[in-house]
């Protein structure tokens, strides 16, 4: 396993945000964590990527214990995250934004700028290179988040809702980019609301509800899991659906 | 480096001033512009580039000024070694202030207050310690000669200031066009995002404050050589800190030339206000205050930003 999360718990005061979360991502996989709003998905990413110290549990990355390690060190080890609420360096150009990340493994300005250009082309930001990041649309900002993360040349990429808020055409443009990461040996763990995209992209899915993992498996198995249907459609929904199915079948 | 030709041109253009004017007033003014351009450039390495607004750069300026004076008077060092000691002492002061603030994640107004507190503590210490001459201050013996970094005429000091100012410009341009510069800008724009991308925010802020303090210390040491007299208020007083940040903010923090332009505008304005009010004390500060309010209100990117703001408006760009 490239990433192993074991018994992770995070509490904010008396409020439990994550309870005993365990999951693992194998090298080369595209895995996803789904769940309703407030389920603790972003908290899970924050705890894995070093922005939050968990109260209990362990995170192992590439065979190394990394629990509570600061984000900049995790990034240097090859674990990088994006932010759901995009955080561009607003006063810098797109090129300069990406170059900051490229500098992680390239000391020379020239090498970092060259890498920034290549990465920008990959996420189709090449025509915006010299525009200020503040001018980008939401779709552009999501691409910039992805581009910056890629420029750190990671082994594991945590994508926090990079598709949310995009229109279907924009989602369709982003999908192959994410799928293409696998060819570069980049493992992906994503949090997503856009279910269709998750189902098409992921090898494996975990369902997080109320801070707990309630189901996991292949996308095909997950959509039929009663615990998942209840989480999204409310208590008793699975039973009701099955009954209606049975009735429809009987009629 | 892209800015080096411009810096060379600037130095070359400024070089012949003493031959062009016989006026001591003009040379004095030009020397003060270069001194405060250097101090402003130092402030801008930390405030403009890394977004960490210091309100206490007097701590570094004063440390440099006192360090060379003490090294020469109390320890018998020559002025050149004293100059080096001044830079090192200021860097050490920068390490102290930086560690005390950045280690504990102080940002924004909290950082500004801590730097102000350090400068004030330094002023009070200088006012009471024997080694700094307490309230009486320190007087260096007059002994012109290049080996003593003292000059018989104003032109010598002007060229000395020009060398230091050009050195500050080269330092700032090297930082700007390097990995450190990119990381400082990232920390300024969004520290969390920078950390997520592998930028060690603490380390880069420390590097910025060390460079900034060292350059401010050089400006302080120059002051000592120029006036051969120091007291706690001159070296560590709040108006030094205000001059350090005012120049870059008025000129434009985003540009290498902002601190130079800002220093020129402020010194000319200060001189004009003194002349108009018949030399009233504090007249220059009143003028500074008015300019600061106008700049912050109408041109937050400084004088250099004026042209850019207008072109951006024409494109319909906001934010």
- Cβ of residue B316 closer than 8 Å to a chain A Cβ: no
Q: Which ipTM value was assigned to this complex?
A: 0.90
pLDDT surpassing 70 at residue A43: yes
Distance separating alpha carbons of residues B3 and A34, to the nearest angstrom: 50
Q: Does B186 touch chain A (CB under 8 A)?
A: yes
Average pLDDT over residues B228-238: 95
Phi, psi dihedral angles at B235 (to 5 degrees)? -85, -45
Residue A103 touches partner B, C-beta closer than 8 Å: yes
From B179, B185, B193, residue closest to A83, measured CB to CB: B193
Q: Which residue in B44, B43, B57 sits closest to B241, CA to CA?
A: B57
**Chain A to chain B Cβ contacts (< 8 Å):** 83
Nearest to B62 by CA among B1, B141, B123: B123
A241, HSE (Cβ side, Cα atoms, 13 Å)? 15
Task: Name the DSSP class of B145.
Answer: B
Contact, B222 vs B14, CB < 8 A?
Answer: no
For A56-97, the pLDDT digits (tens) are: 999 999 999 999 899 999 999 999 999 999 999 999 999 999
- Determine the pLDDT at residue B308: 63
Angle between helix B24-46 and B154-176 (nearest 10):
20
Greater model confidence, A10 or A231: A10
Judged by CB atoms closer than 8 Å, whether chains meet at A89 and B193 is answered as yes
Chain B residues close to A131, C-beta within 8 Å: none
Give the containing element (helix H, strand E) for A113.
helix A109-122
Shortest alpha-carbon distance between residue B54 and chain A (Å): 21
Task: Please say if the pLDDT value at position B161 is more than 90.
Answer: yes
**Residue listed under structure tokens 């977004």:** B51
Listed in sequence order, the residues at least 6 apart from A184 whose beta carbon sits closer than 8 Å to its beta carbon are none
Measured between CB atoms, which of B178, B197, B317 is closest to A100?
Answer: B197
Is the CB of B199 less than 8 angstroms away from the CB of A90? no
Q: Is the pLDDT of residue B311 over 60?
A: no
Token duo for residue A170: 């924009």
Of B177, B182, B192, the CB nearest to A87: B192
Burial string for A155-177 (b: 16+ CB within 10 Å, else e) reads bbbbbbbbbebbeeebbeebbeb
Task: Please count the helices (runs of H) and the strands (runs of E) in chain A.
Answer: 10, 10
Q: Which residues of B touch A91 (CB under 8 A)?
A: 185, 188-189, 254
Q: What is the DSSP string of B53-98?
A: --S-THHHHHHHHHHHHHHHHTT---HHHHHHHHHHHHHHHHHHHH
Select from A191, A183, A177, A112 the least CA-distant residue to A151: A112
A122 and chain B: CB distance < 8 Å anywhere?
Answer: no
State whether residue B201 sits within 8 Å of chain A by CB.
Answer: yes
pLDDT digits (tens, 9 = 90+) for A119-177: 999 999 999 999 999 999 999 999 999 999 999 999 999 999 998 888 889 888 889 99
- How far is the C-alpha of B65 from the C-alpha of B217, rounded, in Å? 7
Instruction: Please state, in angstroms and rounded to a whole number, the distance separating the CA atoms of residues A47 and A6.
Output: 12
CA distance A41 to chain B (A): 17
Interchain contact B189–A (C-beta under 8 A):
yes
CB contact under 8 A, A100 and B177: no
| Measured distance CA(A105)–CA(B198) in Å, rounded | 9
d(CA A235, CA B157) in angstroms, rounded, equals 83
| pLDDT given at position B318 | 39
pLDDT of residue B309: 54
* Cβ-Cβ contacts under 8 Å, B309 against chain A: none
Interface test with B, best of A77, A90, A100, A106 (most B CBs within 10 A): A100
Q: Which long-range contacts (C-beta less than 8 Å, at least 24 apart) are formed by B74-77?
A: B74/B131
DSSP A184: G
Length of chain B: 319
| Residue B197 CB contacts under 8 Å (≥ 6 apart), including other chains | A75, A80, A100, A101, A104, A148, A149, A151, A152, B186
Count of Cβ atoms closer than 10 Å to residue A221 Cβ: 13
Write the pLDDT tens digit of every residue in A5-32. 999 999 988 788 899 999 999 999 999 9
From first CA to last CA, the distance across chain B in angstroms is 30
Q: How confident is the model at residue B163 (pLDDT cuts 50, 70, 90)?
A: very high
Q: How far apart are CA A131 and CA A143, in angstroms?
A: 14
User: What predicted TM-score, i.e. pTM, was given to this entire model?
Assistant: 0.91
Per-residue confidence at A190, pLDDT binned at 50, 70, 90?
Answer: very high
Q: Does B198 sit within 8 Å of A152, measured CB to CB?
A: yes
- A94 interfacial to chain B (CB closer than 8 Å): no
Contact B192 A134 (CB under 8 A): no
- The Cα–Cα gap between B151 and B143 comes to 8
How many CB atoms neighbour CB B54 within 10 A? 29
Q: Examine the pLDDT at A109 and tell me if it is beyond 60.
A: yes
**A201: burial class by Cβ within 10 Å (0-12, 13-18, 19+)?**
buried
Pairing of strands A15-25, A3-12: antiparallel
A71 contacts on B by Cβ (under 8 Å):
195-196
- Gap from B185 CA to chain A (nearest CA, Å): 8
- Interface contact A100, partner B, CB < 8 A: yes
Residue B249, strand partner residues: none
Closest residue in B to A101 (Cα–Cα) = B197
pLDDT digits (tens, 9 = 90+) for B236-266: 999 999 999 999 999 999 899 999 999 999 9
A88 in contact with chain B, both atoms CB, cutoff 8 A: yes
Q: Is the pLDDT of residue B54 over 80?
A: yes
Please answer yes or no on whether B196 and A71 come within 8 Å at the CB atom. Answer: yes
Instruction: Round to whole Å and give the CA distance between B195 and B202.
Output: 10
The per-residue pLDDT for B315 is: 44
Interface contact A99-B182, CB threshold 8 A: yes
For residue B314, pLDDT over 50 is answered with no
């Amino acid at each position: 396993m490239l990433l192993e999360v074991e018994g992770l718990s995070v509490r904010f005061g008396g409020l439990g945000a994550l309870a005993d979360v365990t999951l693992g991502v194998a090298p080369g996989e595209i895995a996803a964590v789904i769940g309703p709003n407030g389920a603790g998905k972003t908290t899970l990413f924050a705890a894995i990527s070093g922005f939050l110290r968990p109260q209990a549990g362990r995170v192992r990355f590439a065979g190394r214990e990394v629990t509570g390690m600061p984000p900049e060190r995790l990034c240097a080890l090859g674990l990088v995250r994006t932010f759901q609420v995009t955080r561009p360096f607003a006063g810098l150009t797109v090129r300069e934004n990406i170059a900051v990340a490229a500098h992680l493994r390239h000391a020379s300005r020239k090498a970092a700028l060259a890498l920034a250009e290549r990465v920008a082309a990959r996420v189709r930001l090449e025509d915006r290179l010299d525009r200020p990041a503040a001018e980008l649309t939401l779709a552009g900002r999501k691409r910039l988040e992805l581009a910056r993360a890629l420029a750190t040349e990671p082994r594991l990429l945590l994508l926090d809702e990079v598709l949310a808020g995009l229109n279907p055409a924009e989602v369709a443009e982003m999908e192959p980019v994410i799928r293409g990461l696998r060819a570069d040996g980049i493992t992906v763990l994503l949090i997503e609301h856009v279910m269709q995209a998750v189902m098409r992209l992921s090898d494996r899915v975990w369902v997080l509800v109320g801070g707990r993992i309630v189901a996991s498996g292949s996308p095909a198995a997950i959509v039929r899991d009663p615990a998942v249907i209840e989480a999204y459609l409310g208590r008793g929904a699975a039973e009701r659906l099955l009954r209606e199915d049975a009735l429809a079948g009987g009629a | 480096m892209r800015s080096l030709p411009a810096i060379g041109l600037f130095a070359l253009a400024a070089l012949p001033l003493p031959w062009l004017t016989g006026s001591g007033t003009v040379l004095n003014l030009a020397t003060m512009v270069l001194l405060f351009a250097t101090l402003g450039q130092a402030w801008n390495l930390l405030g403009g580039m890394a977004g960490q607004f210091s309100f206490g750069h007097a701590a570094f300026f004063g440390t440099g000024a006192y360090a060379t004076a003490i090294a020469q008077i109390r320890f018998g060092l020559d002025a050149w070694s004293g100059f080096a000691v001044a830079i090192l002492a200021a860097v050490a002061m920068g390490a102290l202030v930086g560690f005390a603030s950045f280690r504990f994640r102080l940002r924004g107004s909290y950082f500004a207050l801590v730097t102000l507190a350090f400068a004030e503590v330094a002023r009070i210490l200088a006012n009471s310690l024997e080694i700094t001459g307490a309230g009486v201050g320190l007087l260096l013996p007059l002994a012109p000669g290049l080996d003593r970094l003292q000059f018989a005429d104003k032109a010598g000091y002007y060229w000395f200031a020009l060398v230091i100012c050009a050195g500050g410009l080269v330092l700032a341009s090297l930082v700007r066009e390097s990995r450190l510069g990119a990381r400082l800008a990232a920390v300024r724009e969004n520290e969390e995002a920078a950390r997520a991308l592998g930028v060690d925010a603490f380390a880069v802020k420390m590097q910025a404050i060390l460079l900034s303090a060292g350059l401010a210390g050089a400006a302080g040491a120059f002051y000592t050589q120029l006036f051969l007299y120091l007291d706690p208020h001159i070296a560590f007083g709040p108006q030094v800190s205000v001059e350090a940040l005012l120049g870059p903010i008025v000129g434009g923090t985003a540009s290498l030339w902002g601190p130079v332009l800002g220093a020129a505008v402020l010194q000319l304005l200060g001189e004009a206000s003194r002349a108009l009010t018949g030399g009233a004390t504090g007249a220059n500060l009143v003028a500074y205050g008015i300019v600061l309010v106008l700049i912050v209100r109408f041109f937050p990117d400084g004088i250099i930003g004026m042209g850019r703001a207008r072109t951006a408006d024409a494109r319909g760009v906001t934010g």
